[in-house]
Amino acid sequence: MMNPDTKSIRPIPYGRQHITQEDIDAVIETLQSDFLTQGPKVAEFEQAFANYVDAKYAVAVSNGTAALHLCTLALGVNEESRVITTPITFVASANCVRYCGGTVEFADIDPATALLNINKVRAMLESKPKGYYAGIIPVDFAGNPVNLEEFRKLADEFGCWIIEDACHAPGGYFIDSNGDKQLCGNGKYADLAIFSFHPVKHIATGEGGMITTNSDELYQELLKLRTHGITRDPQLLEENHGGWYMEMQELGYNYRIPDMLCALGVSQLQRADAGLARRKGIAKVYDEAFGNVTGIEVLGTSEEALSDNGSTGHAYHLYVIKVADRKGLYDFLREHNIFAQVHYIPAHTMPYYRNQSYKKGDFPEAEAYYSECLSLPMYPSLTAEEQEFVIRKVKEFVG
Ligand SMILES: *Cc1c(COP(=O)(O)O)cnc(C)c1O
């Protein structure tokens, strides 16, 4: 038993991977096979993942940031492009625009959910001639799905593309205006969606990422860009000198992911539903514990993510609470071996983006959110006892 007055015996992080013997066996099997990279496991992982999120195509890559970069490349982002995203995200969501020389334009968040505020985006689009903005990158922050049906309508009105950053939301969904479930990354409303398999995310491969899409054209382009801009497809070659022949048709990268990691991904994906159910169970316990506590505000879920029968499309990568003395709580929890985390420092306040003309004060909702937010431990292997300990310590500090 854990003594309520002492610290937790093992450190409790905000997120961590869950590796089973089956996962280990799957990797070993690949190590003993003919292929360490570019073998059969890549396609197997892609197919399984496309099925999981209900998309037509999936392209596995070396990490989530590489996935974002390939998306901006495939969509033709260049020095003239202006792209709108949220300041409350991991910086990679914005950086992918900069990799192609484009300009990042932030729009403030909805304080209820910390998601990109569609009304702010609309106001920006309406203030400029059509074609001024190239695209929008909404983020399913914390696992809370963005209403992409609404974003699609807006994007179509102004000729913009959409990249859904779904790193936090594999298995998440929202209910569209027809009452249909729309899984995050299914490609119905966004042109492209991306995922990460960093160990704190739902599915871990160590490093790894995935792009999903329903577009044949973008799919072909992504395959080429992932491997140096090279193709061997006889249909696409300009010349053909024989069996060895390939063409580098444009400037691509090596953003491939090894077979060993895809074997781990395939194995992890088989437990994705169980992990998601456990995350929802943990969220429910936190909700009940903090629901009526003065001094603690639980970050809200988007309405479209709640179905009639009370189930939720929130994928709970993070469980975020807001408290006045956030630094005090963060330090207090650390003293007790609980490693809560802050997601995120607003991207526009980073020195790099301050040099791109942004400054503190530009996005008051994002900055107010940042001053109070704290992500509590949330991962499938968190025990009920550990969660009780976290809840007790949070209440002890706030109460
Ligand atoms: C993790 C993450 C990324 C980047 O993924 P990596 O695999 O670490 O490169 C991008 N966007 C968001 C929202 C993320 O959480």
Q: What's the CA-to-centroid distance between 167 and ligand 1, angstroms?
A: 6
Give tens-digit pLDDT for 208-241. 999 999 999 999 999 999 999 999 999 999 999 9
Does the beta carbon of 258 sit less than 6 angstroms from any atom of ligand 1? Answer: no
Q: What's the CA-to-centroid distance between 309 and ligand 1, angstroms?
A: 32
Q: What is the pLDDT of residue 191?
A: 98
Q: What's the CA-to-centroid distance between 64 and ligand 1, angstroms?
A: 5
Q: What is the pLDDT of residue 330?
A: 98
Q: What's the CA-to-centroid distance between 110 and ligand 1, angstroms?
A: 21
Q: 3-state DSSP call for residue 171?
A: coil
Which residues of the chain are under the pLDDT cut of 70? 1-5
CATH for 272-398, among 3.40.190.10, 3.65.10.10, 2.60.40.10, 3.90.1150.10? 3.90.1150.10
Does CATH place domain 21-269 in 2.70.98.60?
no
* CA–CA distances in Å: residue 269 to residues 53, 188, 254, 266: 11, 22, 24, 5
Evaluate whether 173 touches 182 at the Cβ level (below 8 Å).
yes
Q: What is the pLDDT of residue 7?
A: 77
Asked if domains 21-269 and 272-398 share a fold, the reply is: no
Of 14, 62, 65, 261, best ligand 1 pocket probe by most atoms within 8 Å of the beta carbon: 65
Q: What is the pLDDT of residue 58?
A: 98
Does the beta carbon of 209 sit less than 6 angstroms from any atom of ligand 1? Answer: yes
CA 267 to chain centre: 20
Give tens-digit pLDDT for 264-313. 999 999 999 999 999 999 999 999 999 999 999 999 998 888 877 778 99
Q: What is the pLDDT of residue 399?
A: 85
In whole angstroms, give the CA distance from residue 379 to residue 13.
9
Q: What's the CA-to-centroid distance between 353 and ligand 1, angstroms?
A: 18
Taking phi over 0 as left and psi of -120 to 50 as alpha, with beta for the rest, 148 belongs to alpha
Of 69, 167, 194, best ligand 1 pocket probe by most atoms within 8 Å of the beta carbon: 167
Does the beta carbon of 196 sit less than 6 angstroms from any atom of ligand 1? Answer: yes
Domain spans of the chain?
21-269, 272-398
In whole angstroms, give the CA distance from residue 151 to residue 71.
18
Does the beta carbon of 390 sit less than 6 angstroms from any atom of ligand 1? Answer: no
Nearest residue by C-alpha to atom 5 in ligand 1: 64
What burial class does residue 227 get, using C-beta atoms within 10 Å of its C-beta: 0-12 exposed, 13-18 middle, 19+ buried? middle
Taking phi over 0 as left and psi of -120 to 50 as alpha, with beta for the rest, 64 belongs to alpha
Shortest-distance atom of ligand 1 to CA 93: 11
Shortest-distance atom of ligand 1 to CA 168: 15
Does the beta carbon of 70 sit less than 6 angstroms from any atom of ligand 1? Answer: no
Q: What is the pLDDT of residue 2?
A: 52
Q: What is the pLDDT of residue 210?
A: 98
pTM of the model: 0.97
